[in-house]
């Protein structure tokens, strides 16, 4: 692994009691219906997600300030796992027969192919001028970073285990890692080259998201799916109570949390405000 590996789990402090923890306020449906809507991403008032229609995934955009819904892609090949920064949108694209990363400008309508290797490039994330993704060119999945102004690609991780599902905030990348034979959450700081474990607890940890000091991710333990959050400064891990069952793929922008769950029989996207406080005080819609 590049940089300095800090072998400290930050204790993954015990889950907070019912008197503390997080609450979800103003929980509401954002993208619901007979079709499956899943894998949300947030930036400001914009919400993007993938929608399954006629056995093909395409990318949809919701402007939360106006309520306008826009179809961004419409093709026979799958477009999946979107990530958003301002008017820059990236996704995992299968038009060439394998997974590649594409970039789309919501303002100009310009599209660009970012990767074209024979391997699979998956799980893109974008912040500013940087795009990161997971790629299996070496036989296992490692993380790579692409600089838009220079076109330079840099390998971020180099470990025989898989590193996947990166999320990006400024110079900080969080990702899922299975080096301990179970998926856990790790963090890599591009500016310092330091890597550390964020949360090593029972169950499978995946689909992390980050905004500021706060991380969120999904936890699968004994066939039960839930959401958890961690303050990366203190290491305190707390559950996130949401109204639906099996919440997955959380996205976070400041205090706004998005996820998908199957409470209505298909995958739908929901929104809520993540606040610290008594979980029993959550306002569920």
Domain for residue 261, yes or no?
yes
DSSP 146-211: EETTT--EEE----SS-EEEEEEETTEEEEEE-TTSS-EEEEEETTTTEEEEEE--SSEEEEEEEE
**58, 76 in Cβ contact below 8 A?**
no
Domain for residue 142, yes or no?
yes
> Domain count of the chain?
1
- What's the pTM? 0.90
Query: Range of 175's domain?
Result: 4-274
DSSP letter, residue 232: T
**104, 111 in Cβ contact below 8 A?**
yes
Domain for residue 34, yes or no?
yes
Domain for residue 49, yes or no?
yes
Domain CATH number, residue 128: 2.120.10.30
Distance CA 63, CA 66 (A): 6
pLDDT tens-place values along the chain, 285 residues long:
333 223 333 334 433 333 357 899 999 999 999 999 999 999 999 999 999 998 999 999 999 999 999 999 998 999 999 999 999 999 999 999 999 999 999 999 999 999 998 889 999 999 999 999 999 988 999 999 999 999 999 999 999 999 999 999 999 999 999 999 899 999 999 999 999 998 877 889 999 999 999 999 999 988 899 999 998 888 888 999 998 889 999 999 999 999 999 999 999 999 999 998 654 433 433
Domain for residue 281, yes or no?
no
**CA-angle at 194, arms to 192 and 197, nearest 5°:** 150
Q: Provide the pLDDT for residue 276.
A: 83
Distance CA 92, CA 53 (A): 17
Domain for residue 280, yes or no?
no
């Amino acid at each position: 692994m590049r940089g300095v590996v800090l072998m400290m789990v930050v204790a993954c402090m015990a889950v907070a009691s019912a008197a503390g923890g997080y609450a979800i306020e103003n929980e509401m449906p954002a993208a619901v219906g007979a079709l499956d809507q899943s894998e949300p991403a947030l930036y400001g008032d914009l919400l993007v997600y993938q929608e399954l229609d006629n056995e093909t995934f395409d990318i949809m955009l919701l402007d939360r300030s106006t309520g306008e819904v826009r179809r961004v892609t419409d093709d026979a090949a799958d477009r999946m796992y979107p990530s958003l920064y301002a008017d820059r949108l990236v996704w995992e694209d299968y038009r060439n027969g394998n997974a590649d990363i594409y970039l789309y400008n919501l303002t100009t309508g310009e599209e660009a192919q970012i990767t074209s290797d024979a391997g699979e490039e998956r799980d893109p994330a974008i912040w500013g001028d940087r795009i990161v993704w997971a790629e299996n060119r070496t036989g296992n999945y490692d993380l790579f970073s692409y600089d838009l102004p220079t076109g330079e690609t840099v390998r971020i991780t180099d470990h025989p285990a898989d590193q996947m599902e990166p999320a990006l905030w400024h110079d900080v990348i969080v990702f899922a890692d299975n080096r301990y034979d179970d998926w856990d959450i790790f963090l890599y700081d591009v500016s310092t080259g330091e890597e550390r474990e964020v949360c090593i607890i029972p169950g499978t940890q995946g689909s992390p998201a980050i905004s500021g000091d706060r991380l969120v991710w999904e936890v699968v333990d004994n066939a039960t799916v839930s959401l958890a959050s961690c303050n990366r400064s203190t290491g305190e891990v707390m559950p996130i109570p949401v109204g639906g069952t099996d919440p997955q793929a959380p996205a976070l922008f400041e205090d706004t949390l998005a996820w998908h769950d199957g409470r209505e029989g298909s995958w739908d996207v929901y929104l809520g405000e993540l606040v610290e406080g008594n979980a029993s005080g959550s306002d569920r819609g």
